[in-house]
């Protein structure tokens, strides 16, 4: 900018203003990130000294959302748009969804994605239904470390279909691969796994994919999308269908929703995807355009031929996701994933140094289980009352024999001081046991 103006410095640029009228100093500190500036400004205007932080994850995460996501997604052209029943008249909406599908394919390594689903749970259930149609079988096997809320949705879907869901319990908060292998037979349509799993553990499912494929079954993998910035993609694991919850992609925590689910698959199964798929074409004058390529839903075709009774998709949430991914870019997305991994590694080291047992022995991504000397639910309730800290998710409500186990989660919103505060608060409660 100074070169274009033909001056050598900021001071020279404002030299025509008398020194007595210049009140600003140009001796500025180094640039800071939007997140740092936003946090500093929030601290300046805050009317309370309480430093509130949440360490609850379990599938839904508090990420920093750049201001540009709200600025763009809240434009009236987007927030007032409805389902494109005349899609050729909604080119902006179709292009945004096409770009979203492209981003999901690049994240997962898959060939095709639809325009989004309601949430991660419905995406898992729809993937299971896809497997039934593809294999003409009537049973799926799911590991017990898949998100329990998503498993309940899957079971509800399959109960109405008269199909079977066989759940293989987790072992030490990790998938029991030997038990999974034993549960797969010639009636199995798909094996459903999660990476990172519900407890944050990272796994290699390539051997399981090989085993499933040998029996004619598919592998469905649910993934936390931010983790795909540094972990192997579902395609690299050998998965046939990739699903997950897209809340962490530019969508705020909002009392359970609205969020979005993503689903992607290999090219040969594209006609079994539920909902709508946006395609790219050219018009009679060779101009780029977008169309609803496939509309395998009952609002467009006969009910008995529809792949699903899903009647729409989460267009606005999907738009936020693609804006968020575009703002971060490839390198920024990788850096975000690595930051979460490093932050969690620091937290794990500090918990161990403080004497807290950690039952997981394998690698974790951004959350893990901590064993407390007192029932976790009592500790959580007490700390929220006295310090405004939401220290994690007690696991007793999800599985028996885990009354003392707490699931803690970390994102880029947490720094080392936050982690040290969390551990000190838990250690103080432990001393009262």
pTM over 0.85: yes
Specify if 393 maps to a domain: yes
- For residue 311, pLDDT over 70 is answered with no
Average pLDDT, the chain: 91
Specify if 280 maps to a domain: yes
Which is higher by pLDDT, 52 or 20? 20
Backbone angles phi and psi of 82, in degrees to 5: -120, 180
Amino acid 225: pLDDT:
98
Other Cβ atoms within 10 Å of 193 Cβ, number? 28
59 with 74, same domain: the answer is no
**Final residue of a structural domain among 264, 293, 325:** 325
- For residue 50, pLDDT over 50 is answered with no
267 with 367, same domain: the answer is no
Total domains, the chain = 2
242 with 347, same domain: the answer is no
Specify if 151 maps to a domain: yes
233 with 213, same domain: the answer is yes
Total count of residues recorded for the chain: 433
HSE (side-chain half, CA atoms, 13 Å) at 406? 26
- For residue 10, pLDDT over 90 is answered with no
- Beta bridge partners of residue 409, listed in sequence order: 367
The continuous run of DSSP H or E covering 295 comes out as strand 288-295
**428 conformational bin, left if phi > 0, alpha if psi -120 to 50, beta if neither:** alpha
CATH of residue 47 = 3.90.1150.10
Instruction: Say if residues 411 and 75 touch (Cβ distance below 8 Å).
Output: no
Specify if 187 maps to a domain: yes
- For residue 299, pLDDT over 60 is answered with no
Percent of the chain with pLDDT over 90: 71
Amino acid 13: pLDDT:
86
Specify if 6 maps to a domain: no
Amino acid 298: pLDDT:
52
Amino acid 321: pLDDT:
98
276 with 343, same domain: the answer is no
Express each pLDDT in 354-367 by its tens digit. Answer: 999 999 999 999 99
Specify if 19 maps to a domain: no
HSE (side-chain half, CA atoms, 13 Å) at 412? 20
- For residue 228, pLDDT over 80 is answered with yes
Amino acid 318: pLDDT:
96
CATH of residue 126 = 3.40.640.10
**Final residue of a structural domain among 325, 355, 382:** 325
Amino acid 51: pLDDT:
53
Instruction: Say if residues 407 and 376 touch (Cβ distance below 8 Å).
Output: no
342 with 211, same domain: the answer is no
- For residue 24, pLDDT over 80 is answered with no
- For residue 302, pLDDT over 70 is answered with no
Express each pLDDT in 261-279 by its tens digit. Answer: 999 999 999 999 998 899 9
Average pLDDT, integer, range 84-94: 80
Amino acid 301: pLDDT:
61
Express each pLDDT in 327-354 by its tens digit. Answer: 999 999 999 999 999 999 999 999 999 9
CA distance 385 to 401: 26
281 with 380, same domain: the answer is no
**Final residue of a structural domain among 325, 348, 374:** 325
- Which domain, by its residues, includes 248? 67-325
Q: How confident is the model at residue 385 (pLDDT cuts 50, 70, 90)?
A: confident
Instruction: Say if residues 426 and 372 touch (Cβ distance below 8 Å).
Output: yes
Min mean pLDDT across 11-15, 140-144, 214-218, 222-226 is at 11-15
Instruction: Say if residues 262 and 317 touch (Cβ distance below 8 Å).
Output: no
Average pLDDT, integer, range 85-97: 84
101 with 166, same domain: the answer is yes
**Coil, helix or strand for 119?**
coil
221 with 338, same domain: the answer is no
106 with 57, same domain: the answer is no
Specify if 342 maps to a domain: yes
Specify if 9 maps to a domain: no
Express each pLDDT in 172-222 by its tens digit. Answer: 888 998 999 999 999 999 999 999 999 999 999 999 999 999 999 999 999
362 with 423, same domain: the answer is yes
Question: Among positive and negative, which fits the CA dihedral 351, 353, 356, 360?
Answer: positive
Q: Beta 218-222 vs 188-194: how paired, if at all?
A: parallel
358 with 313, same domain: the answer is no
Min mean pLDDT across 120-134, 350-364, 390-404 is at 390-404
């Amino acid at each position: 900018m100074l070169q274009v103006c033909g001056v050598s410095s900021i001071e020279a640029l404002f030299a025509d203003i008398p020194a007595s009228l210049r009140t600003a100093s140009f001796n500025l500190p180094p640039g800071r990130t939007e997140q740092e500036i936003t946090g500093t400004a929030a601290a300046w205007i805050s009317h309370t000294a309480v430093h509130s932080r949440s360490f609850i994850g379990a599938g839904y995460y508090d990420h920093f959302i750049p201001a540009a996501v709200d600025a763009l997604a809240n434009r009236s052209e987007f927030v007032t748009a409805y389902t494109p029943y005349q899609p050729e008249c909604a080119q902006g909406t179709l292009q945004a969804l096409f770009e979203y599908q492209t981003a999901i394919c690049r994240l997962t390594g898959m060939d095709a994605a639809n325009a989004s689903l309601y949430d991660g749970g419905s995406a898992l259930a729809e993937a299971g239904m896809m497997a039934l149609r593809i294999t003409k079988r009537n049973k799926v096997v799911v590991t017990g470390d898949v998100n329990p809320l998503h498993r309940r949705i899957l079971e509800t879907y399959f109960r109405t279909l008269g199909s079977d869901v066989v759940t293989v319990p987790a072992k030490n908060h990790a998938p029991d691969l030997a038990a999974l292998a034993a549960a797969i037979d010639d009636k199995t349509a798909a094996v459903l796994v999660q990476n990172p799993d519900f407890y944050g553990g990272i796994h290699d499912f390539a051997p399981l994919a090989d085993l499933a494929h040998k029996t004619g079954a598919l592998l469905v993998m649910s993934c936390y999308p931010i983790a795909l910035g540094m972990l192997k993609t579902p395609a690299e694991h050998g998965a046939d269908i990739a699903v997950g919850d897209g809340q962490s992609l530019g969508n705020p925590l909002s009392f359970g929703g609205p969020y979005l689910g993503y689903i992607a698959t290999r090219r040969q199964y594209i006609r079994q995807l539920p909902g709508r798929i946006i395609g790219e074409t050219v018009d009679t004058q060779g101009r780029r355009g977008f169309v609803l390529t496939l509309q395998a839903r009952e609002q467009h075709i006969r009910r008995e031929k529809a792949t699903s009774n899903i009647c729409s998709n989460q267009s606005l949430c999907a738009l936020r996701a693609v804006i968020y991914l575009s703002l971060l870019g490839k390198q920024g997305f990788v850096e975000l994933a690595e930051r979460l991994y490093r932050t969690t590694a620091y937290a794990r080291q500090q918990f161990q140094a403080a004497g807290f047992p950690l039952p997981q022995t394998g690698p974790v991504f951004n959350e893990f289980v901590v064993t407390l000397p007192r029932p976790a639910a009592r500790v959580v309730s007490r700390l929220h009352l006295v310090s405004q800290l939401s220290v994690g998710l007690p696991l007793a409500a999800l599985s028996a024999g885990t009354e003392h186990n707490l699931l803690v989660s970390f994102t880029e919103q947490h720094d080392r001081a936050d982690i040290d505060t969390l551990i000190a608060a838990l250690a103080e409660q432990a001393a009262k046991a």
